Structure 1
Amino acid sequence: MLTQFRRGEEIDGPELNMTQYSVVETKEEQEMHYLMPRRGPFRLLRGYKLKSRYAPVAGYRYDGLYEQHQFGLKTDSIKNCYRYTVILKRLDYQPPLATLLNTPKPHQLDQWAVYLQWIAREMKKEGSQIKYATWRLAEEQQMREKDEWLVEQNAASTAAARGFRKYVTDPRKAGYKQS
């Protein structure tokens, strides 16, 4: 099974090689409910719109095999939506995630820019300047939100690191056996 994480938020999970992903979806969307019964390993694609420090800068990236460790669902009947939270465990014997973070490469970024230009040309060709402007504003807004989220996450992790006290060793006092 191939799963795409295109939007939502992703933070580090409770253990090493684990990640927690959460997304709010309306009853009409419900992409995540397909993951609920799934227990075996699946392939994960991360998208550039995902609020995550592991998300690619542009495009989509295959990030390896994962298995579902825990799944949660909260219903909000007032807003008519669901909040899905899933904790994923990265399977062993795969290339380290750090090597994947080096993608996309410069030539791939160039190809992504060409792709976005092609989309813009196609929208303009259809004669829908309003559709193009709406799409462009939505893309910029999503990227701004992602950047703000990343800044908040970095500030929170820095503050947490400052909150931990470092170990201080006191020299041993001479006891009755050390005279």
Structure 2
Amino acid sequence: MELPQVKDVEITQVDNFSQVHIFYEEATGEAKLNANELISSTNWIFHIDRRNNLEKVAKHFSELQEKKRNPRNPHSNPDAHVYFSLADIPHKQLGFIDVTNLTFFTYDPKEELKYGNTPIFVYPDGFRLKENGGEKTPWDKFGTYKNVYYIYIFSGKMTFQQFIDIYWTELHQNDGGIISRIYILNEK
């Protein structure tokens, strides 16, 4: 398992947890889920191989998030959190980011007006303000306005490492906040 690598994390320890593994199958390129010992009442740590395709990871993550959030689950614990594990390279330690409120959605261009007024189409090498038009703007030119509601539409083809690089480093650390809704653009 090759965890996503980052330069810094805020959380370095999680207690009372169950583990979820999403392995990368080298022969097929598929994301393989192993959640056999998952206990609903504990914190969940997702160990996700960084080579996995974001679209495939989002599918597994969404299915398990739905199970965790189900209010009819008799073992539900509203105080339990969900984390992604990361390799904090400079400190040579395992780190975590809290993704309890993160939800992945499939992007549907026919529903775009429901999403918000400023879509940002996210790619590893930059972003666009329109899906099929306009130039990609590099991440070092990215900036947001405080009173504008952005929706982030990530390319489903990017790797999980690329997603973490953008979600954690570019958007969270540079923009100062956690984004809870991510739309996945399923590209053929």
- Same fold at TM > 0.5: no
Give the number of the structure whose residues are more often helix, by fraction. 1
Structure number, greater radius of gyration:
1
